[in-house]
């Protein structure tokens, strides 16, 4: 069947190349169409669905090596989001996604629509969104552009999350030179659903009706996925502003309630959100999963601008839209629910048994393609990884001289952009709406959310998102393992057992051998870590081509984890709590020494990245995590905090500041005071509690008693060195980011 005469003219090979297809891919598209060249609609649809963003053509083979199965997995990769079982017939759905290039071009709307998009992925499953987290990377705040991007991205995240009534409960931000021209904005959302009520996105039932509901369709965001997300940024980025979508959280709030009511009343066969590549992607994915065909009439799509061409309607990335499939008899009821929520709903097409995606305009065929060709036949590429012979990244500028003493170093670290308090950022977010938040930001290492919907004895979930790019740049394999362990350690500190993992792989151009090597090694590390932690990957996203004029970003695999804790009243805290409590280091023994390699101190000193990080004994780290988690769950500890960026002394200072109480440490002799105080490695904790409780913990993991909680200063003795910092002094240093948000 060939398109009718009404179809547009044939754009041809040059246009296809301009849209990102290779010559070979164009030839394959022609094959899919039975030997003829694609018309304008077909070329637009193929070029988007065969883009890196939609087809994962450089990463799919690697992703297949990740562990995706486990006893708690309810829904794995391939659906709108993954989901894990939290007991009593309930499931928690979650996923992280990036909106990096839109945010680099227009940070407020880029970040806002990043949140909007990931929320739609969650409620498209029938899960009510209960939390948002974000992971942000910018250049150093000494740069005016970085400060602007940070300020506007934070405002955009808050604008969307606050307005829609989903708490922003956690996240992370770090500042490094390689993100200067290519910032990262990753957003993670979590939802709660009854497992039996969750809906998949596979279209089914020949003759069933496609209903598009939500915002009307405009020219915003045309080509967002192919223009922005699948190419490197360059100096002409301002001209790409029209490719960035504009968000409307009020519309999404109505869309959310409308979608959940439609599902609750059993009116839908399938539901899918419209994200990258708009109707093209949503409709063809639904058809491909169901093994069916679709007829979709663009003349029935409500438009913001009357004169839109069919291809524009098919690829528009206008936000706040959903596509559902329902039985013909239910259309009236579906539209009535839409009317109740003041959401525009329109029947735009129907399910066919042909296996073809036909785009119509007023009944005339303007595009006719095999569904499987669009969704499944994009060629996948093997990477050509090559370990770089020379360092890829310049050394950061030194801001702390070698002559600085320990006293200066601690305040410099606490006031450095990567370690200073995030309060000026997270105060712009609502972390408490929905009455679930048991631990707010800076109260504990992980956010804790009570699932009160589950009734008497309801458990809580804990969640964390982490992704240190500098460590991954130093060692993609061990650095990525460190990111996953950091998440799991944060969960252990509140007493949570990981159930599943999501990830966003932010990397440079995978067609370059050194980036391909970073990506391959990172995925290998992620797989090994998730297997060791028994926290399978249930979903995620890949963002490639993150390069600017100065080169690639630090390779940044962002890891998000969700775990469960049975008793929310026993959720751990990070701050020291009681005068006289003993302080201990857990899992920090001499057999696996910390290191200054790629540490925050090394960064402040302007040291170049090392070539590799020390290896870890994964089984030993996991055993330590288990011991800490069990102690928290048993209510034995009064505080638990993992030793992360900045090392032991920063972790202790943070526990003092969070608890508003001092500490006295005696760290004994040390032949390397700097490494002892500021060295880093995964799997170590600072805990406090009654002496007997710490002794009991010592039966399960290496425990080193190092001091006592109390007073209004942090005092440290190590070797011949003795230092003292008043809490007020530490607090002032820790508040260094406040001037960024006047």
Partner 1 sequence: MRIGVITFPGTCDDVDARLAAGKVGEAVALWHRDPDLHGVDAVVVPGGFSYGDYLRAGAIARFSPAMGSVVDFAREGGLVLGICNGFQILCEAGLLPGALLPNTNLRFTCRQVDLEVVRTDTPFTSTCEVGERLSIPAKHTSGRFVGDVPEDQVVLRYAAGENFNGSQDDIAGVVNEGRNVLGLMPHPEHAVDVLTGGSADGLKLFEGMARVAVA
Residues near partner 1 (CB under 8 A): 155, 158-159, 162-165, 248-251, 253-254, 341-342, 427-438, 440, 450, 452, 568-569, 741-742
> Nearest approach, Cβ of 460 to partner 1 (angstroms)?
9
Which C-beta is closer to partner 1: that of 402 or that of 569?
Answer: 569
**Pick 219 or 423: Cβ nearer partner 1:** 423
Q: Is the CB of 200 or the CB of 436 nearer to partner 1?
A: 436
Token representation of residue 160: 């969307």
Residue among 134 and 251 whose Cβ is closer to partner 1: 251
Strand 639-642 to 551-552 pairing? unpaired
266 Cβ partners below 8 Å, 6+ apart?
A: none
DSSP 408-468: HHHHHHHTSTTTS--HHHHTTS---TTS-EEE-TTTSSSEEEE-GGG-TT--EEEEEEE--
User: Per this entry, what is the length of the chain?
Assistant: 742
CB of 162 to partner 1, least distance (A): 6
Sheet holding 128-138, edge to edge: 73-75, 82-87, 90-98, 184-194, 128-138, 168-175
CB distance 437 to 169 below 8 Å: yes
Least distance to partner 1, CB of residue 443, Å: 9
- For partner 1, the closer of residues 14 and 456 by Cβ is 456
**Residue 321 or residue 676: which is nearer to partner 1 going by CB?**
321
Shortest reach from residue 569's CB to partner 1, in Å: 6
Distance in Å, CB of 28 to partner 1, minimum: 45
Bin 727: left if φ > 0, else alpha if -120 < ψ < 50, else beta: alpha
Element (H, E) at 93: strand 90-98
> Judged by CB, which is closer to partner 1: 150, or 410?
150
Angle (deg, nearest 10), helices 278-290 and 40-49: 70
Contact 98, 142 (CB under 8 A): no
Alpha-carbon span 108 to 156, nearest angstrom: 4
Whole-number minimum distance, CB 126 to partner 1, in Å? 18
For partner 1, the closer of residues 148 and 250 by Cβ is: 250
Give the residue with the Cβ less far from partner 1, 155 or 577. 155
Q: Which is nearer to partner 1, 322 or 597 (CB)?
A: 322
Residue 465 Cβ vs partner 1, minimum distance, rounded to whole Å: 19
Please report the DSSP string for 653-668 in residue order: HHHHHHHT--EEEE--
Task: Tell me how far, at minimum, the Cβ of 741 lies from partner 1, in Å.
Answer: 7
CA 177 to CA 100: how far, in whole Å? 16
Distance separating alpha carbons of residues 219 and 228, to the nearest angstrom: 15
- Report whether 584 contacts 637 (CB < 8 A): no
The string of DSSP letters for 113-165 reads HHHHHHHHHHHTTTPEEEEEEEEEEES-TTSHHHHHHHHHHHHHHHHHHHHHT
CA distances (Å), 596 to each of 668, 678, 697, 722, in order?
Answer: 20, 7, 28, 21
Nearby residues of 347 by Cβ (< 8 Å), 6 or more positions away = 209, 210, 211, 300, 331, 335
Residues 6+ apart with CB under 8 A from 622: 488, 532, 533
Q: Please, which residue, 92 or 231, has the CB nearer to partner 1?
A: 92
Greatest CA separation for the chain = 88
Q: How far is the CB of 398 from partner 1 (least distance, A)?
A: 34
Please list the active-site residues: 53, 99
Cα–Cα dist 428/449, whole Å: 19
Cβ atoms 460, 473 nearer than 8 A: no
Among 482, 514, 675, 483, smallest CA distance to 597 is for: 675
What's CA 542's distance to the chain center, in Å? 10
509 and 515 Cβ atoms separated by less than 8 Å: yes
Q: How far is the CB of 157 from partner 1 (least distance, A)?
A: 11
Q: In the bound complex, what is the minimum distance in angstroms from residue 590's beta carbon to partner 1?
A: 40
Give dist(CA 500, CA 677) in Å, integer. 33
497-506 and 537-543 strand pairing: parallel
């Amino acid at each position: 069947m060939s398109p009718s005469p009404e179809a547009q003219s044939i754009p041809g090979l040059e246009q296809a190349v301009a849209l990102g297809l290779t010559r070979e891919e164009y030839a394959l598209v022609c094959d899919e169409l039975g030997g003829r060249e694609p018309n304008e609609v077909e070329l637009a649809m193929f070029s988007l669905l065969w883009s890196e963003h939609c087809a994962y053509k450089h990463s799919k083979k690697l992703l297949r090596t990740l562990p995706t199965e486990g006893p708690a997995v309810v829904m794995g990769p391939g659906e709108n989001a993954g989901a894990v079982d939290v007991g009593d017939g309930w499931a928690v759905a979650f996923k992280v996604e990036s909106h990096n290039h839109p945010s680099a071009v227009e940070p407020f709307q880029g970040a806002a629509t990043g949140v909007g998009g990931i929320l739609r992925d969650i409620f498209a499953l029938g899960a009510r969104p209960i939390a948002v987290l974000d992971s942000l990377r910018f250049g150093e705040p000494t740069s005016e552009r970085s400060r602007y991007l940070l300020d506007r991205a934070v405002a955009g995240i808050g604008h969307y999350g606050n307005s829609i009534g989903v708490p922003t409960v956690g996240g992370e931000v770090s500042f490094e030179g390689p993100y200067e021209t290519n910032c990262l904005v990753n957003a993670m959302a979590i939802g709660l659903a009854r497992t039996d009520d969750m809906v998949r996105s596979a279209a089914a039932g020949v003759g069933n009706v496609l209903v598009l509901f939500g915002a009307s369709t405009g020219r915003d965001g045309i080509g967002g996925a192919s223009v922005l997300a699948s190419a490197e940024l360059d100096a002409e980025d301002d001209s790409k502003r029209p490719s960035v979508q504009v968000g409307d959280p009020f519309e999404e709030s109505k869309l959310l309630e409308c979608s959940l009511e439609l599902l609750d009343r059993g009116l839908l066969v399938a539901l899918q959100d419209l994200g990258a590549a708009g109707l093209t992607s949503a409709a063809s994915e639904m058809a491909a999963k169901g093994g069916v065909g679709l007829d979709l009439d663009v003349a029935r799509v409500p438009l913001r601008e009357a004169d839109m061409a069919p291809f524009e309607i098919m690829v528009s990335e206008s936000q706040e839209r959903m596509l559902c499939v329902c039985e013909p008899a239910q259309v009236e009821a579906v539209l009535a629910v839409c009317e109740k929520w003041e959401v525009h709903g329109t029947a735009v097409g129907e399910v066919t048994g042909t296996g073809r995606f036909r785009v119509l305009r007023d009944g005339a065929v303007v595009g006719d393609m095999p569904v499987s060709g669009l969704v499944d036949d994009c060629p996948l590429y093997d990477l050509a990884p090559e370990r770089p012979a020379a360092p890829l990244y310049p050394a950061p500028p030194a801001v702390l001289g070698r002559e600085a003493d320990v006293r200066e170093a601690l305040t410099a670290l606490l006031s450095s952009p990567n370690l200073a308090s995030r309060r000026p950022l997270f105060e712009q977010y609502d972390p408490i709406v929905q009455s679930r938040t048991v631990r707010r930001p800076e109260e504990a290492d992980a956010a804790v959310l009570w699932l009160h919907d589950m009734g008497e004895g309801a458990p809580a979930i804990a969640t964390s998102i982490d992704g240190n790019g500098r460590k991954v740049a130093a060692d993609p394999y061990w650095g990525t393992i460190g990111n996953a362990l950091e998440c799991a350690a944060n969960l252990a500190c509140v007493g949570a057992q990981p159930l599943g993992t999501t990830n966003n792989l932010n990397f440079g151009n995978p067609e370059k051998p050194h980036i391909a090597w970073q990506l391959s090694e990172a995925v290998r590390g992620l797989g090994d870590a998730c297997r060791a932690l028994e926290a399978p990957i249930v979903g995620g996203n890949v963002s490639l081509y993150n390069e600017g004029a100065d080169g690639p970003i630090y390779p940044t695999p962002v890891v998000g984890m969700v775990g469960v804790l049975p008793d929310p009243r026993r959720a751990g805290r990070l701050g020291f709590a009681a005068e006289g409590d003993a302080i201990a280091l857990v899992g920090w023994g001499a057999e696996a020494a910390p290191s200054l390699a790629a540490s925050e101190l090394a960064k402040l000193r302007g040291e170049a990245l090392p070539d590799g990080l020390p290896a870890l004994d994964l089984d030993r780290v996991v055993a330590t995590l288990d011991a800490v988690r069990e102690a928290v769950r048993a209510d034995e500890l009064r505080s638990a905090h993992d030793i992360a960026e900045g090392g032991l002394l920063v972790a202790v200072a943070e526990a003092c500041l969070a608890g508003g109480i001092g500490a006295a440490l005696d760290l004994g002799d040390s032949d390397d005071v700097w490494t002892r105080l500021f060295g880093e490695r995964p799997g170590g904790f600072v805990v406090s509690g009654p002496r007997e409780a710490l002794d009991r913990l010592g039966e399960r993991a290496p425990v080193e008693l190092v001091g006592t909680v109390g007073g209004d200063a942090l005092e440290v003795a190590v070797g011949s060195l003795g230092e003292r910092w008043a809490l007020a002094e530490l607090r002032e240093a820790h508040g260094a980011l406040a001037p960024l948000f006047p």
